[in-house]
Amino acid sequence: MVQVRFVIPELPPQTPEGTLFLTGTHRNWRDDPAGWTFERMGGEAVLDAHLPEGALLEVKVRLLHDGQVTEEGDVWGGRAPAHKAVVSGDIEIRLHLGGWQDSGQGRSRPSASAPPREEWELAAPWGPQVVRLWWPASPTGQPLPLLILHDGQNVFDEAVTFAGQSWNVARAAQILADENRPCLIAALSVNHERSRRYVPFPFELNGFQPGADEYLDWIAGTLKPALRERFGAVDAPHTALAGSSFGGLITLYGGLRAPLEFGTLGVFSPAIFPADFELLRWMEGRTAPRSRVWLDMGDREADSLQGAAEMVALTHDLAARLRPKVREVQVTIGENHWHDEAAWAARFPAFLRWWLEGLSVQASR
């Protein structure tokens, strides 16, 4: 164990009296302040703790006031990204707080990235489904290769994102469009039912009632026909499905479940642990011989350096299992990449280029 000092150098204006405490991955995000409270010292606050060498920390500050717990936020009152650090010897970690979350949840947060060009609402068994659409500034007039993205609230502008970070996909896509490699992007927003919609196996977080097959059937039976009517027909080889974490899980599952629906699968940091890694057993005997698979992982996606190395090894093992089943597997390991939107935004442009340039290679054969 090594000593770690957490310092809040300055509390946000109008921070109420109460108990400041630390939570995070090292505590499974618990709301109990016991053992993790800060001592206020003038305008700053300090917490000394002992943590394992090599721990990978994602932490946030919370405030217990009048029996209610409030989490730190950004300056607009929305959710903020976690603070990240690698425990290496005795260290001091400075936590700069933007503010506290409020009921507005950051609705006034400005965007640094381009928004979608249009939003649809399509009927779905679970209620209205928001579809965020983007196409190049100078459309070709011909049907474009189609990319369907999960977690559509996180991929364009920051205002609607989970924690103020987006994938900035419009910028990456426009750069390629300017190189005569355009595409159409349909990003599907998701709500609190994410674990049910994206995980195809029963486990605790989806209440043992998965809804992934219903979701994939809706993509094939409702979304794709609606896009075809508006933008023209796109065949399966020119259609890609992509997502991260549970979105990576549903992408891989969807591509192997219906191998003629998608030509390319963008599997970012797949969370394949549900139901004791049921995906690995489910994959046996399934193939998608025409599909290309982008598979990636960051080297900081665990609670310790050792655990992160094991995640990287698991990713290579998954690639080895996939190679006999599909046409191609491209593995990318993100250096110093955590499990978050910033990491996926950094890897997305390379995926997009790999996908679109691969279509040209395929057409030339």
Same domain, 164 and 50: no
On whether residue 32 sits in a domain, the answer given is yes
77 and 196 share a domain? Answer: no
How many CB atoms within 10 Å of residue 14?
Answer: 7
SS3 content of the chain, % helix, strand, coil (to 5): 30, 30, 40
Is residue 106 one of the residues assigned to a domain?
Answer: no
Tell me if 108 is assigned to some domain: no
Contact, 294 vs 265, CB < 8 A? yes
| Same domain flag for 153 and 179 | yes
Inside any domain, residue 211:
yes
Instruction: Examine residue 191 and state whether it is found in any structural domain, yes or no.
Output: yes
Residue that finishes a domain, picked among 39, 66, 100? 100
205 residue type, one letter: L
- Which amino acid is present at 278? E
Judge if 153 and 58 occupy the same domain. no
Q: CATH code at 52?
A: 2.60.40.10
Same domain, 314 and 278: yes
Question: Which pLDDT score is estimated for 106?
Answer: 54
Q: Minimal CA–CA distance to 243: which of 233, 234, 232, 254?
A: 254
Q: Which domain holds residue 70?
A: 2-100
Among left, alpha and beta (phi > 0; psi -120 to 50; other), residue 189 is beta
Mean pLDDT of 339-352: 97
pLDDT of 80 higher than 70 = yes
For the chain, the domain total comes to 2
Query: Is residue 83 included in any domain, yes or no?
Result: yes
Of 106, 183, 118, 203, the C-alpha closest to 152 is 118
Given a cut of 80, whether residue 293 has pLDDT beyond it is yes
Of 33, 67, 100, which marks where a domain is finished? 100
Cα–Cα distance, 289 to 298 (Å, whole number): 27
Domain end residue (candidates: 72, 100, 128): 100
Contact indicator for 10, 46 with CB cutoff of 8 Å: no
Per-residue pLDDT, averaged over 183-190, amounts to 97
Same domain? 122 vs 86: no
324 φψ region: left (φ > 0), alpha (ψ -120 to 50), beta (else): alpha
Can you give the pLDDT at residue 155?
94
Percent over 90 (pLDDT), the chain: 85
Is the same domain home to 326 and 272? yes
Chain Cα centroid distance, residue 5:
30
* 316 and 192 both lie in a single domain: yes
Query: What is the C-alpha separation between 337 and 329, in angstroms, rounded?
Result: 20
Q: What is the pLDDT of residues 223-269, one digit of tens each?
A: 999 999 999 999 999 999 999 999 999 999 999 999 999 999 999 99
How does pLDDT run across 7-43, given as a tens digit for each residue? Answer: 999 999 888 889 999 999 999 999 999 999 999 988 8
Q: What is the mean pLDDT of residues 145-166?
A: 88
Query: Rounded to the nearest 5°, which phi and psi values hold at 73?
Result: -140, -165
76: Cβ contacts below 8 Å, ≥ 6 apart: 99, 104, 106, 107, 108, 109, 110
Residues 276 and 357 both lie in one domain = yes
- pTM attached to this predicted model: 0.93
Residue 65 lies in a domain: yes
Q: Are 72 and 98 in contact (CB under 8 A)?
A: yes
Residues 13 and 89 placed together within one structural domain of the fold: yes
122 and 79 in a common domain: no
Q: For 122-144, what is the mean pLDDT?
A: 91
